[in-house]
A = this chain, B = another copy of it.
């Protein structure tokens, strides 16, 4: 859990109170958070934390692959801490935003076929799944039942 400090340090960056606060907030959330939300929560640990610093910290952490930017809905985006590094993607609940990280697998064939077809050489990709988490599926069933009762 102090891995990230090592990584920052190795990259020649300092371990500062704002960075600790932002990292802690992200690691203890299972949903993507906006810079604003991160600031609000992180201020519990570091009251003077400025929004500018949050942006700068997120940029740094994203470059180091400690954090991933997620585009949950049109125009709305958030950040999550990642454990699996570069080779992972996210499954986000459209209702409560709970997010699960999963390893990147199963695309190789599609990519190979596409390279053959188009002549492109694929370097990178971006995948995100949207759905309902178990808890929100249950809630939704209750809503449907109530409607039927009317």
Contacts and interface: CB of A to CB of B under 8 A. Distances in A.
A100 interface: yes
A117 to B, nearest CB: 8
Interface stretch (A21-29, A78-86, A124-132): A124-132
Interface residues of A, number: 36
Given A125-B127, A126-B71, A127-B126, A120 B106 contact: no
Identical subunits present: 2
A130 B121 CA distance: 8
Contact of A106 (B74, B107, B131, B137): B107
A133 B120 contact: yes
Interface string A92-124: 011000001010011101110111011111111
Interface of A: 69, 71, 74, 91, 93-94, 100, 102, 105-107, 109-111, 113-115, 117-134, 137
27 contacts: A71-B71, A91-B122, A94-B123, A100-B118, A102-B114, A102-B118, A106-B106, A106-B113, A111-B129, A114-B129, A115-B131, A118-B133, A118-B134, A120-B134, A121-B132, A121-B137, A122-B129, A123-B131, A123-B132, A124-B129, A125-B128, A125-B130, A126-B127, A126-B128, A126-B130, A127-B127, A127-B128
